[in-house]
């Protein structure tokens, strides 16, 4: 039981997950057809129980049709393989970290609900739905 508690204490948390469409100048864009990039921001709060070291965050962006944007790349998760859109590695030092991940848009975006999921250390840290409507 103590071992399980230690594993839970070591687990990273995530807050402030946002998804923003950007135009070619890197500014927020309301019209989906003009979007050239998607920007994902999130914060990893301070956690003194998490071991210091490199952490790789995998970000999945799932379209309203159920496709993983930028799919084809996979990582191991719960004994299987999961497709992801982008990944970002940082040197985690137990201090609060603000991360920004960019995804270049290669095909036209459709209106609807996009699901953004963030994984690290074989955990799904967050799953949030964002409506892109214009």
Summarize pLDDT for 44-61 with one digit per residue, the tens.
999 888 889 999 999 999
Q: From start to end of 23-122, where are the E strands?
A: 37-44, 53-62, 73-77, 80-84, 86-92, 97-104, 112-120
Res. 3 pLDDT band, cuts 50 70 90: low
Average pLDDT, the chain: 90
| Model pTM score | 0.90
Phi, psi of 3 (to 5 degrees): -60, -40
């Amino acid at each position: 039981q103590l071992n399980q508690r230690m594993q839970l204490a070591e687990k990273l948390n995530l807050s402030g997950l946002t998804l923003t469409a950007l135009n070619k100048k890197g500014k927020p864009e309301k019209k989906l057809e003009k979007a050239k990039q998607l920007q994902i921001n999130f914060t990893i709060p301070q956690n003194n129980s998490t071991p210091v070291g490199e952490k790789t965050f995998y970000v999945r962006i799932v379209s309203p049709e159920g496709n993983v944007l930028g799919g084809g790349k996979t990582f191991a998760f719960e004994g299987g393989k999961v497709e992801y859109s982008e990944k970002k590695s940082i040197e985690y030092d137990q201090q609060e970290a603000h991360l920004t991940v960019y995804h270049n848009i290669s095909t036209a975006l459709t209106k609807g609900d996009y699901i953004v999921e963030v994984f690290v250390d074989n955990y799904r840290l967050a799953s949030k739905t964002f409506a892109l409507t214009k």
